[in-house]
Structure 1
Amino acid sequence: MIALIAGCGNPGPAGPSAEKSLILATTTSTQDSGLLDELLPAFTRDSGWQVKTLAVGSGQALELGRRGEADVLLVHSPAAEEAFMAEGVAGRRLLVMHNDFVLVGPAADPAGIRGTPSVEAMGKIAAAQAVFVSRGDDSGTNAKEKDLWAKAGVTPEGSWYQSTGQGMGETLRVASEKGGYTLSDRATYLAQRDTLSLDILSEGDPGLLNVYHVIEMTSKAGDRVQPEAATAFADWIVSPPAQQMIGQFGVAKFGQPLFTPDAGKDEAALGR
């Protein structure tokens, strides 16, 4: 399901300025965590560009870019992104920020994963055939989940393994209702924690790093792409003011930032 979020700010009077609008395809975590509600009004104010957001899984966001149906992408599925960049239809791919993934589940923890490393935890969930709720939507989170299952030597199947085909917020809700486990980005979990009966049970592995990039689309992807819009957004989100906003997001409400700004950093050193 694609969630279309209308542009932020007032559209202003009719005329050329009202038509200055770009399409951002991004992972649902940036929407469900509330980050875009902070960033996009500031971007519009600073640049004059209105933003129409397509909140989907990273795989779907890349596909929208491939079809020329988005001007710029904000995604978190590095392996898929690298393959996408090799196709030659995109411009720059810039490091923006990171947070991490966490394994969450009911406080009773029927599979006994509390405090165990993520790969071991996945093996325990499968062995116990405890309910696991997957996004199943080709998102960056879904890609990370598949990677963890593979490292655990597990092919998840059976009635205990359930898929929503939905975004992170909805998947967390289903896992909470079913008393199941799921993999979530930390930001979306913290943003919705008060509505969930789920605890963080496994966290902190270097392998749970969750890295976000902005990708500019070019006219090679299609005539509808606005390269100048892509450049405007990419330049802005890695700028010091935007990076400062990212670093402060969540501190007032949760006592910790939900994302760590990374523009200009050595990506290979992240999470060390």
Structure 2
Amino acid sequence: MKTKLHFLLLLLLLAPALPAGERLRLATTTSTDNTGLLAAINAVFTERTGIAVDVIAVGTGKALKLGRNCDVDAVLVHAPEAEKAFVEAGYGIDRLAVMHNDFVIVGPKGDPAGVRRAKTAAEALGKIARAQVPFVSRGDDSGTHKKEKQLWRQAGIEPQGAWYYSIGQGMGAALQVAEEKQAYVLTDRGTWLAMQDKLPDLTVVFEGDPALFNPYHLIAVNPKRCPNADFETAMQYAAFLTGPVGQKLIANFKVGGRPLFHPDVLP
């Protein structure tokens, strides 16, 4: 199956560019958009193929809902369990690994909850809850929010109270609120690296737990479920993103010499 898929991707990558005016509708997470990565990748893709990419940057939950509602041709998201359910329900085809980074917990430099002493991410959140120190949650059903809820469950805590701010917004906004309130927040490393110069009072206080691994996958919307989905164009984009050019663009996209994401296909 994998060999067949790779052959299809190769054929699509080598195929002639589609006519000018062709468009791909892509629902993706705020992290891929806020970092500037997609703008860089899509500019090269459009130059090579003539296909414009219309990006809808929302949380993963909303991105998958757009796929289920047949409003997009493909999704680029980072919530493995929700992605698998999307494919198993027949809404998506060919869930392809594209890249990864990790989540980190960012907070005040003084670390009032003592998060740096934690051995796991769940223990870190437990320290924040017990100290009743402000914590900002995206609260938007994004991949980051799903990971946060998973960690709270592992900690055996239902976060609530005046210290817990659920804002229903994207990663960039959550980091800005954390800066204003001197609060802790769970963020993907890519968005943190892209924004850290604008957040002088925050720093990474916890990282490195394997539970914080953060993979991104591209999924084409199933044309059998959504007849208006442009599967061919979605697969041409997939071939580019997972091919040598797309993977090198991901590897070379850096802030201050540090990569924001790591390619999954590039050797």
Say whether 1:161 aligns with 2:164: yes
Q: Percent identical across equivalent pairs?
A: 50
Say whether 1:190 aligns with 2:209: no
Contact 2:90-2:222 within 8 A present in 1 as well: no
Root mean square deviation of aligned Cα: 1.4
**Pairs within 5 Å for 1:130-149:** 130-149=133-152
User: TM-score, normalised to structure 2's length?
Assistant: 0.90
User: TM-score, normalised to structure 1's length?
Assistant: 0.88
Distance 2:128 2:224 in 1: 45
Distance 2:78 2:128 in 1: 25
Distance 1:210 1:244 in 2: 19
- Provide the secondary structure at the position in 1 that maps to 2:97: strand
Quickly say closer, same or farther: Cα 1:264–1:79, change in 2 above 3 A.
farther
Distance 1:183 1:257 in 2: 19
Contact 2:248-2:266 within 8 A present in 1 as well: no
Report the CA distance between 1:221 and its aligned residue.
Answer: 3.1
Distance 1:162 1:148 in 2: 16
**Pairs within 5 Å for 1:198-209:** 198-209=202-213
1:203 aligned partner, one-letter code: E
Aligned match of 2:251: 247
Q: 1:151 aligns with which of 148, 154, 167?
A: 154
What is the total number of aligned residue pairs between the two structures?
A: 248
Deviation per residue, 1:2-51 (Å, 9 max, x gap): xxxxxxxxxxxxxx944311111000000011111210101111222101
2:164 aligned partner, one-letter code: Y
Aligned match of 2:178: 175
**Pairs within 5 Å for 1:67-82:** 67-82=69-84
Distance 1:189 1:136 in 2: 18
**Pairs within 5 Å for 1:1-272:** 17-116=19-118, 117-196=120-199, 197-250=201-254, 253-263=255-265
Distance 1:233 1:41 in 2: 12
Distance 1:90 1:83 in 2: 9
1:194 aligned partner, one-letter code: D
2:158 aligned partner, one-letter code: T
Contact 1:115-1:201 within 8 A present in 2 as well: no
